[in-house]
Amino acid sequence: AEPMRLPDGFVLGAATSAFQVEGSTTADGRGTSIWDTFAAQPGNVRGGATGDPAADHYRHWAQDVDLMADLGLDGYRFSVAWPRIQPTGSGAVNQAGVDFYRRLVDLLLERGIEPAVTLYHWDLPQPLQDRGGWAARDTASRFADYAAIVVDALPDVTGPWLTINEPKTTAYVGYGSGYHAPGVSDVDQMVAAVHHQLLGHGLAVQAFRASGVAGRIGIALNLQPVYAAGAGADDAAVRADAVENRLFLDPVLVGAYPDDALGDRPGQIPADPAVLDALVREGDLATISAPLDVLAIQYYGVTGVDSGGQNVQLYPTSDAPWQQVHPEGLYETLTRVRDDYPGAPPLVITENGIPDRTPEGTTDDPERVAFLRAHLQQVARAVDDGVDVRAYYAWSLLDNVEWAEGLDQRWGLVHVDFESQERTPKASARWYADVVAQHAVPLA
């Protein structure tokens, strides 16, 4: 049968984030981030891995761009490390840090690869955490100042700008469960981190507009369908959907928080709704809901919820135990945003992927090929059904530091030997290069 064609101009790329690939965490004036602090504490990251050397991309960046060019990628999504730009999170600019990203963008443009820039992918400068981090309202303003610096330095970025990567994960896992940096476990701080990241997003969008640069900006939200599992689970699933999806989509796209995300009923965040109300000042929701040029969606899978609000496994997981693989969920997510949020801007998918089955990784990865093919088919199906999706970035270009899982979960299209730093494209990279070249997704 015929492959499923993607529209002209549809961007097929791959993504990384600074802390996960760069290494060189003390080079050229970079400050300390919360992930450096967190990883330095034994027991926080599997195997004791830190951000150094990671995939040593800070030194292999040009080779990595050549690799992308070899694969024919249309686009590359990377993040800027805030502590390289402002080592203490505010004040003077560290020019050496700016220069690194300037060189990277120049080479990408020279090779015809569209850069897409995430402003915040979890590496908060430690001095800001010492003043409360995202639980503190001031961090939102500091973020907007930093965003303005980066936008001014890279005015020629052609791909989308993303303000905050997955505010949900930072709030729930960084300030809720404490499994991620900064390792805080406090439900009030978790709720505050939701609001202050969204406020930071809105203020950064204002700074972006004020800068007058051409370009598109949005936020990267990890969304997942929530299915009722078993008898009497419908109401809990609706509340869990508020927690997973609407607590972020509603303020950004319609300027209001849902009224069912917080409370003491199954599926909810166990916090008094008054905690959130008390954080929201006049004008915040208008700031948070300023019009966007793109909405970035990151999709890994689905979740089930029982009548008690507990998570239930409905589909087989990948080697990441939280990842229930269900490609149709991506189609549902894309069509749901279109149907439930008529004012939503065009969509881009900024992450989607799966880890290898072994800690050493492999270059023969048929499971990744099957995963990417099945998900890209759902993207093509959504596009055929009229959803305005403009881009897809596979997670990830390179094997890298998978946060608290350290180096044991390899998500790359390209294998990295963390000792020699040798790069070897996996079978999935070759397969994906073909998809990019054809601009079409094979059926099998």
Region of residue 212 (phi > 0: left; psi between -120 and 50: alpha; otherwise: beta) = left
Q: Which residue is nearest to ligand GCO, using beta carbons?
A: 166
Closer residue to ligand GCO, CB minimum distance, 44 or 298:
298
Closer residue to ligand GCO, CB minimum distance, 63 or 322:
322
Query: Is 300 annotated among the ligand-binding residues?
Result: yes
Question: What residues have CB less than 8 Å from 244, skipping those under 6 apart?
Answer: 168, 223, 224, 226, 303
Cα 368 from Cα 75, distance rounded (Å): 20
Query: Is 244 annotated among the ligand-binding residues?
Result: no
Closer residue to ligand GCO, CB minimum distance, 272 or 319:
319
The catalytic residue among 166, 244, 332, 405 is: 166
| Among residues 11, 14, 17, 89, the one that binds ligand GCO under rule CB under 6 A | 17
Task: Show the site string, 329-348: x = touches ligand GCO by CB under 6 A, - = not.
Answer: --------------------
**DSSP 8-state class, residue 243:** I
Q: Are strands 226-228 and 303-305 parallel, antiparallel or unpaired?
A: parallel
Query: Is 121 annotated among the ligand-binding residues?
Result: yes
Strands (E), 200-250: 217-222, 226-228
Cα 160 from Cα 377, distance rounded (Å): 23
Query: Is 20 annotated among the ligand-binding residues?
Result: yes
Min separation Cβ 394 and ligand GCO, Å: 11
Helices (H) and strands (E) in the chain, counts: 16, 15
Candidates 102-110, 123-131, 164-172, 427-435; binding stretch for ligand GCO (CB under 6 A) = 164-172
Candidates 87-95, 109-117, 163-171, 426-434; binding stretch for ligand GCO (CB under 6 A) = 163-171
Cα 353 from Cα 396, distance rounded (Å): 7
Q: Is 395 in the site for ligand GCO (CB under 6 A)?
A: yes
Question: What residues have CB less than 8 Å from 222, skipping those under 6 apart?
Answer: 166, 168, 169, 297, 298, 299, 300, 351
Min separation Cβ 83 and ligand GCO, Å: 17
Q: Is 399 in the site for ligand GCO (CB under 6 A)?
A: no
The catalytic residue among 22, 332, 351, 405 is: 351
Q: Is 123 in the site for ligand GCO (CB under 6 A)?
A: no
Block residue for tokens 């936020």: 219
Candidates 152-160, 162-170, 278-286, 334-342; binding stretch for ligand GCO (CB under 6 A) = 162-170
Closer residue to ligand GCO, CB minimum distance, 94 or 396:
396
Which phi and psi (to 5°) does residue 247 adopt?
Answer: -60, -20
Query: Is 161 annotated among the ligand-binding residues?
Result: no
| Among residues 25, 44, 94, 165, the one that binds ligand GCO under rule CB under 6 A | 165
* DSSP-assigned states of every residue in 149-202: HHHHH-TT--S-EEEEE-HHHIIIIITTS-SSTT----HHHHHHHHHHHHHHHH
| Among residues 411, 418, 431, 432, the one that binds ligand GCO under rule CB under 6 A | 411
Cα 231 from Cα 206, distance rounded (Å): 46
Closer residue to ligand GCO, CB minimum distance, 298 or 333:
298
Query: By CB under 6 A, what part of segment 286-325 binds ligand GCO?
Result: 298
Cα 293 from Cα 351, distance rounded (Å): 18
Closer residue to ligand GCO, CB minimum distance, 369 or 404:
404
Q: Is 402 in the site for ligand GCO (CB under 6 A)?
A: yes
| Among residues 74, 114, 166, 365, the one that binds ligand GCO under rule CB under 6 A | 166
Cα 391 from Cα 386, distance rounded (Å): 14
Query: Is 402 annotated among the ligand-binding residues?
Result: yes
Which phi and psi (to 5°) does residue 208 adopt?
Answer: -60, -50
CB-neighbour burial class of residue 420 (10 A; exposed 0-12, middle 13-18, buried 19+): exposed
| Among residues 244, 351, 365, 399, the one that binds ligand GCO under rule CB under 6 A | 351
Which phi and psi (to 5°) does residue 226 adopt?
Answer: -115, 125
Closer residue to ligand GCO, CB minimum distance, 20 or 33:
20
Query: By CB under 6 A, what part of segment 226-245 binds ligand GCO?
Result: none
Closer residue to ligand GCO, CB minimum distance, 37 or 169:
169
Q: Is 367 a catalytic residue?
A: no
Question: What residues have CB less than 8 Å from 281, skipping those under 6 apart?
Answer: none
* Under 8 Å between Cβ of 56 and 117: no
Q: Is 422 a catalytic residue?
A: no
Min separation Cβ 317 and ligand GCO, Å: 12
| Among residues 37, 141, 158, 169, the one that binds ligand GCO under rule CB under 6 A | 169
Residues making up the binding site: 20, 121, 165, 300, 395, 402-403
Residues making up the binding site for substrate: 20, 121, 165, 300, 395, 402-403
Residues that are catalytic:
166, 351
Which residues contact ligand GCO by CB under 6 A? 17, 20, 165-166, 169, 298, 351, 395, 402, 411
